[in-house]
Amino acid sequence: MAANKKLVFLPGDGIGPEVMRQVSRVIEWYDRRRIASFDVAEGMVGGCSIDKYGTPLTDETMAQAAGADAVLLGAVGGPKWDNLPFAQKPERGLLRLRKDMDLFANLRPALVFKPLIGASTLKPEVIDGLDIIIVRELTGGVYFGEPRGITTLPDGSRRGVNTQVYTTGEIRRVARVGFELAKKRQGRLCSVEKANVMESGVLWREEVQKLHDEEFRDIALIHMYADNCAMQLVRNPKQFDVIVTDNLFGDLLSDCAAMLTGSLGMLPSASLGAADSSGRRKALYEPVHGSAPDIAGKDAANPLASILSFAMMLRYSFDMDEEAKLLEAAVVRALETGVRTGDILQPQTQRVSTTAMGDTVLQQLDKLA
């Protein structure tokens, strides 16, 4: 059996803890089956950390996460903390993890599982077989650009400022991730910006094109404006293979792509840093959905995005592609049995709890292994 892998588990707020509980059970299953063994340390991020320590992420937890082989995060935020000053909001904890670990490449695959075709609001033929991946830049752009803030003008009115900023280095390193992924897939990359109105977009387009011409001539590269991309995603999503885009557009487009698959509750993500000399990358895995305070604590949330995030961890952090496929197959089989959490409920399916969905995935793992 492979040596112990050091994981840091950050369940966070809202539905985070309950969906992550199901991931723990999956991890225990891999342990029990002696497929992989993990040392799991648990920490706090977001509102729960604010309540306990007065900050959305303590330096200790930050250091622990930075030292781990991989971090698994649930969700952060909720109405209880909505009125806090900006720098103290739960979301700052997540943003600090991304920034301090330099997790610049956020992979958000949108995959339509056959049993869920009917759960999408789009026509079945539009999404049948859909398999795209959005690579979102995660540590730059308007999320972190300076200057930022709200100031009061001499006439008493106020002014809010954020800055969209990218350097060639930031663009090239995330574009490279996009090209390399495309190489392993259908060989097509769509780079998305607003070069028609933003200088940062012009630079983005030029740098991605340059990198293509220098190193990735075998990849079919196209450029698209972000607004058009949003439209194309719902019009004909199968035209895409890999999309690479900035932090803000990636945030928007990945929610849009998620809904093609039927529910935000199905979408996993991986946030990766640069590879070190031994080829290892710092990494954080999290479901794309948020903390869903309205259903928190009710054992009603969909744990599959979190479980699929763990599958991404097996693949990207530990090079365990077979084991990742096993888990993904168990998720499909679980859906085939007809069980559904509320977010993916359809006629003729059975509504189940978060825990029962976890049970079903474990049963299918037992059958497949």
91 interface partner picked from ligand IPM, Mg ion, none, CB below 5 to 8 A per type: ligand IPM
> Per the structure block, which two tokens stand in for 110?
């949108």
CB of 315 to ligand IPM, least distance (A): 20
Q: Which of 251, 323, 328, 343 binds ligand IPM (CB under 6 A)?
A: 251
Concerning whether 321 is annotated as a catalytic residue, the answer is no
Around 172, how many Cα atoms within 13 Å sit in the side-chain half-sphere? Answer: 11
Cα–Cα distance, 366 to 172 (Å, whole number): 43
List helix spans (H) across 261-353. Answer: 304-318, 321-336
Residues in the interface with ligand IPM (CB under 6 A) total 5
Pick the closer one to ligand IPM by CB: 61 or 364.
Answer: 61
Q: Of 39-47, 204-212, 244-252, 271-279, which segment contacts Mg ion by CB under 5 A?
A: 244-252
Q: Shortest approach of Mg ion to residue 251 CB, angstroms?
A: 4
Backbone angles phi, psi at 213, to 5 degrees: -65, -30
Residue 91 engages ligand IPM in binding (rule: CB under 6 A):
yes
Q: How far apart are CA 137 and CA 283, in angstroms?
A: 14
What is the number of the residue whose Cβ is closest to ligand IPM?
91
What stretch of H or E contains 242?
strand 242-245
Q: Which is nearer to ligand IPM, 77 or 265 (CB)?
A: 77
- Residue 143 annotated as catalytic: yes
Q: Is residue 82 among the annotated active site residues? A: no
H-run or E-run covering 190: strand 188-193
The answer to whether 155 is a known catalytic residue is: no
Query: 225 an active-site residue?
Result: no
**How crowded is the C-beta side of 316, counted as CA atoms within 13 Å?**
29
Does 246 interact with Mg ion (rule: CB under 5 A)?
A: no
SS3 of residue 133 by DSSP: strand
Taking CB under 6 A as the criterion, which residues in 39-78 touch ligand IPM? 77
Rounded CA-CA distance 90/332 in Å is 33
The one among 251, 286, 328, 343 contacting Mg ion by CB under 5 A = 251
Cis-peptide into 147, omega within 30 deg? yes
Decide: is 241 part of the binding site for ligand IPM (CB under 6 A).
no
Residues forming the active site:
143, 194, 227, 251, 255
